[in-house]
Amino acid sequence: MRGNITRRGKSSWQLKFDVGSDSGKRQTRYATVRGTYKDAQRKLTELLGAADDGTLPDPTSATVADYFRAWLGSAREQSPKTLERYGELIDRQIVPHLGAHKLQKLRPEHVQHWHGTLINLGLSPRTIGHAHRLLRLVLKSAMANSTLSRNVAAVHSPPKVEDEEIEILSVDQIADVLAKLDGHTLYPIVALALATGMRRGELIGLQWGDIDLDCGTLRVERSVEETKAGLRLKSPKTKRGRRNITLSIDTVAMLRAYKVKMMELRLALGMGNVTPETLVFSTVEGALLRPRNLSKAWWRTRSALKLPSVSFHAFRHSHASMLIRAGVDVLTISRRLGHAQASITLNVYGHLYEGADAAAAKAITGILGTLRER
């Protein structure tokens, strides 16, 4: 047996396995895995396979560059888009400045100096923060595999990111956008974005089978992700992301009219009738839209029609803002937006609740005043 698994806690397992060395002697390595026994078995098989094909980093000699690239090659839990972004951060921000250091000789002062270097290069605090979080994540993985005894990225924090003001359209601006887009090809998707707060990728991945016009509901089941490899449909990241959204009467009417026009166009082009799998928003050929092409189309249109200079994502923010002004509770808004937790909604839109809090104070004053008069 080249390896064994020992329970360390309720859902924690220690892996012990032998690997070869340049001297021909076997070396014992250890790793810790959280999850089920099957998860531990899979990890042990993965580590043994890496040892056999020579991709398992040597903890005594691996550089930061060696370890990070091996980690990226074996990462499986993240989406392709996330892995693509990790690869960019590793190649552009981490390896050029920290890659030559031996992994086990990386020190907190190296990380602190790295922060300063990235600042001097003109990188934004947000980008530096992303790179730092990845550094910390991979070093945490190295600790779990007993390659490192501590995470030096946990000592110094990256530069603070200043809160950015989110883009929100006023009620008058929303009315102006919808009025000027009336009859435009972008009108249905913009109107639905404002009416539901759906993300750009969710709108692009929407199929007619997800919409029940009779009941006035819409089901978010998937999203479109764009990477260098192309487009793919993916499930929402969390269970809250897969959700039902109730539609307004006006939105249902808009979708009915849009569906009729779509059916007429498809029949004219010889594409057949609309099916449950037909995309609600697509290319003329019925294929998936590229998210960036949708954004570009919006940028061109807003310039041509002199519309507010905001990103497509502003429609989602504006939807949330309208609900907050209407007094809808944060939990309902969070679920409608597909946030994993209501705390995320508060972090993003908390400043918009100031007016709601003033209204609450006015309401409680009226209630208490009524009680005093009894």
What pLDDT shows up at residue 60? Answer: 64
* b/e burial code for range 172-184 (CB count within 10 A of at least 16 → b): eebebbeebbeee
The answer to whether the CB of 260 falls within 8 A of the CB of 189 is no
Contacts of 189 (CB under 8 A, 6+ apart): 203, 281, 294
- From first to last of the 374 residues of the chain, give the pLDDT tens digit: 578 898 887 888 888 888 765 555 667 777 778 789 998 888 888 888 887 877 776 666 789 999 999 888 877 777 888 899 999 999 999 999 999 999 988 999 999 999 999 999 999 999 999 999 999 999 998 887 768 878 999 999 999 887 667 899 999 999 999 999 999 999 999 999 999 999 999 999 999 999 999 999 999 999 998 888 889 898 887 788 899 999 999 999 999 999 999 999 999 999 989 999 999 999 988 999 999 999 999 999 999 999 999 999 999 999 999 999 888 989 999 999 999 888 888 888 877 776 555 655 665 666 666 655 65
Q: What is the pLDDT of residue 355?
A: 59
Q: In this structure, how many other beta carbons lie within 10 angstroms of the beta carbon of residue 339?
A: 22
The pair of three-digit structure tokens given for residue 73, joined into one six-digit string: 């090659």
Residue-level pLDDT at 100: 94
175, 103, 179: which is closest to 141 by C-alpha? 103
| Burial category of 334 from C-beta neighbours within 10 Å (exposed 0-12, middle 13-18, buried 19 and up) | buried
pLDDT at 53: 79
**Identity of residue 312:** F
Give the pLDDT score at 95: 96
Axis crossing angle, helix 171-181 with helix 314-325, rounded to the nearest 10: 130
Our separate counts of H helices and E strands in the chain read 15, 8
Q: How far apart, in whole angstroms, are the C-alpha atoms of residue 53 and residue 74?
A: 12
Domains of the chain are 3-154 (1.10.150.130), 171-309 (1.10.443.10)
pLDDT, position 147 = 80
Pick the closest to residue 328 from 347, 345, 348, 344 (CA basis). 345
pLDDT at residue 109, as a whole number:
95
Q: What is the DSSP letter of 326?
A: T
Q: Please, are residues 156 and 112 in contact by the beta-carbon 8 Å criterion? A: yes
CA-derived radius of gyration, the chain = 26
Pairing of strands 12-19, 3-9: antiparallel
